[in-house]
Structure 1
């Protein structure tokens, strides 16, 4: 039997939506600490969310090119994961992992065969790899920004590399993505929102239901 699919709902901002996401059967929730994001939450808010989630679901704090003081501040809250979503080098990822003492997920934007080739640089350094769509040129923040990428690029990836898939997934596309790409997990943010930063409980439930049915 295959391992169960890991489903991460990212960009949770409120305790109510945290509870709804847990009730819907997600495995992980992500909290975004990056001011340019419509999903940004403060350190104080993240602390409350992590406390409410502890023992119920795995928590992940998403950071973009954080400095050491930000890493220390977040690590002190006791999340299960820190997700690095900026242009961090393998050396920097290694340093953050050592300093934080928290498992590290590294998001890697995929837009070309060259991007796929770089994934291997992080495999032994990060605890988990998340492949995401490359942001459009001139975007003011990283991430897929609701766009998918050409999944066929991932055929060039070493099959021994396990990864989670992100980038433009929705309740309508997640089943096809899982069947095509065969990731061990999926991550969604804008694809389960009614407006930027506003999660929709019914969309979260549909996303999880459709993802589970595809495995």
Structure 2
């Protein structure tokens, strides 16, 4: 028997569990929400105050496994936004990180590419070791510079005297404008010498991203602002 104080949280947990297991008619949602199709995009959004980081990582891990195991006729892209919110300390997060690293290492065999966006250097530095391309936008934290210098050849090559060269490089990063970034990619072919393409190698290249071409221009949209939808 449970007391009133115990039954409340229990019912809440059961309701959350039921929401994940609730069956929906095939006519309403299709046969498989995670089934990959050429030109299709599947968004897994677990932004919910009732879902903690560990639960989110477990669900992300399941979705990743289902998606990667599929055999489809086109390449696959796995994109993680705001990765610092869930890829940090914790058993579930560590397991998800390891599975992501495995996907990165096997991406050629799985016809898969992985894109990760983060604002904090708390994400496993092993991702930096495996990245083929790194775009570094403006930041103010010296911790980011230390992380890059420890794991990225292009950043390590400008370390030298931390009080001089490293500081100047940090000033360059802090001074980046919106849409600008530094590109680290040792295999990128950006120059031509004697008629032959030259790899970027350990150099760093300042990069300008195109202006937004989306309908909303990047502005946050709320569901209640859309036509035909009313506030709940």
- TM-score scaled to structure 1, two decimals? 0.33
Whichever structure has more strand as a proportion of its residues is 1
- TM-score scaled to structure 2, two decimals? 0.31
Query: Over alpha carbons, which structure has the higher Rg?
Result: 2
**Higher RCO (C-alpha under 8 Å, 6+ residues apart):** 1
